Amino acid sequence: RTLEHFKNHISDQGTERLSQVDTIEFNHVYFAYPGTSTPVLTDINLFLKKERVALVGLNGSGKSTFIKLLLRMYDPDEGTILINGRDIREYSLVELRSNFSVYFQSMKNYCFTLKENFTIADDDQAEENVDKRILTALDLAQCEDILQKTRLRGRGLNTSITRLFDHEGIELSGGQYQKLSIARTFFRRHTALILDEPSSNLDPIAEDQIFQSLRCITKGKLTIFTTHRFSNVSLADRIIVFEKGKIVEDGSQRQLLAKKNRYYEMFNIQKEKYNSDEKS
């Protein structure tokens, strides 16, 4: 189900309304996962406004954990997280989470129809232009190939995904599943977007096109995304570099490259790797 149903051991006492996300602030945030003593985030301080922010860093450096704390899947051990200047614990979980449309790598699609994959978690099903909104989201997420398959079946958005329960259904590839999940993220009503590795299974062309779509969709919205591919980082107005649970650099791509520090090193290692891959 949707994020709103993920309660964990978080107390949901807040009563404040949240109609949109304008700013996010982390103040001296420390965190270790329950039952462990290894700090995963250490003294995180950050102020984000309506901008596109890329979180970069090696695997295990704390990027996903940062996102989990922001969505209150866990609470920090120390420090505070504020949205629009208010501690996020003052908002109800539903208010907080309903502002974000989130793409996680582990997101599942359902063995229902294409349309139900969009409407199942939302209360918008009865809305009259819902088909149009779904088609727009599919278009932005470069799902033309999926639509093509459904047209061959003659059932359009009512085509089942997987043939598990419907022999007229269609099977999708890993990359197509990922694009469908991204389309669902675009479809969901939101005031801020979070995307955790949105292009890991995509071919370079689809990846490039999705990042073009993201450029439009994220205009004027607070957007946080993680990516391993430095070519995608150019979407970001601002880059935050995580290392072992700490923020070690923060700035625009141009600023960080000029600094010739951690970001610059990672950027060059990747560039060399791609060059040698191309040659081999």
**Taking CB under 6 A as the rule, which mask of x and - marks residues 234-253 in contact with ligand ADP?**
--------x-----------
Closest CA to 245 of 16, 58, 11: 58
H or E element in which residue 76 lies: none
Told to check if 64 binds ligand ADP by CB under 6 A, we report yes
H or E element in which residue 53 lies: strand 52-56
Bridge-partner residues for 83, per DSSP? Answer: 24, 86
For residue 152, the Cα-to-chain-centroid distance in whole angstroms is: 31
Residue 101 CA to residue 90 CA, distance in Å, equals 20
Number of residues that bind ligand ADP (CB under 6 A): 12
Single-letter amino acid code for the residue at 67? I
Told to check if 40 binds ligand ADP by CB under 6 A, we report yes
Segment near ligand ADP (CB under 6 A), from 14-22, 33-41, 44-52, 77-85? 33-41
Q: Site for ligand ADP (CB under 6 A): which residue of 13, 37, 59, 106?
A: 59
CB of 40 vs ligand ADP, minimal distance in Å: 4
Told to check if 280 binds ligand ADP by CB under 6 A, we report no
Q: What size, in residues, is the chain?
A: 280
Single-letter amino acid code for the residue at 125? Q
Told to check if 106 binds ligand ADP by CB under 6 A, we report no
Would you state the structure tokens that stand for residue 181, as one six-digit string?
A: 């999940």
Told to check if 60 binds ligand ADP by CB under 6 A, we report yes
Question: Virtual CA dihedral for 79, 82, 86, 90, nearest 10 degrees?
Answer: -70
Segment near ligand ADP (CB under 6 A), from 55-63, 80-88, 125-133, 262-270? 55-63
In eight-state DSSP terms, residue 82 is E
Told to check if 227 binds ligand ADP by CB under 6 A, we report no
In eight-state DSSP terms, residue 235 is G
Told to check if 62 binds ligand ADP by CB under 6 A, we report yes
Which residue is listed with tokens 């901008």?
A: 51
CB of 58 vs ligand ADP, minimal distance in Å: 7
CB of 244 vs ligand ADP, minimal distance in Å: 9
Q: Site for ligand ADP (CB under 6 A): which residue of 33, 47, 110, 274?
A: 33
Nearer to ligand ADP, 14 or 62 (CB): 62
CB of 200 vs ligand ADP, minimal distance in Å: 12
CB 175 within 8 A of CB 202: yes
Strands (E) across the chain are located at: 24-31, 41-48, 52-56, 78-83, 86-87, 100-103, 192-196, 222-226, 238-243, 246-251
Nearer to ligand ADP, 15 or 37 (CB): 37
CB of 174 vs ligand ADP, minimal distance in Å: 20
Q: Site for ligand ADP (CB under 6 A): which residue of 25, 29, 56, 63?
A: 63
Residue 216 CA to residue 60 CA, distance in Å, equals 30
Residue 14 CA to residue 28 CA, distance in Å, equals 22
Nearer to ligand ADP, 64 or 99 (CB): 64
- % helix, strand, coil for the chain, step of 5: 40, 20, 40
Segment near ligand ADP (CB under 6 A), from 18-26, 60-68, 96-104, 217-225? 60-68
Which residues make up the interface to ligand ADP (CB under 6 A)?
Answer: 33, 36, 40, 57, 59-65, 242
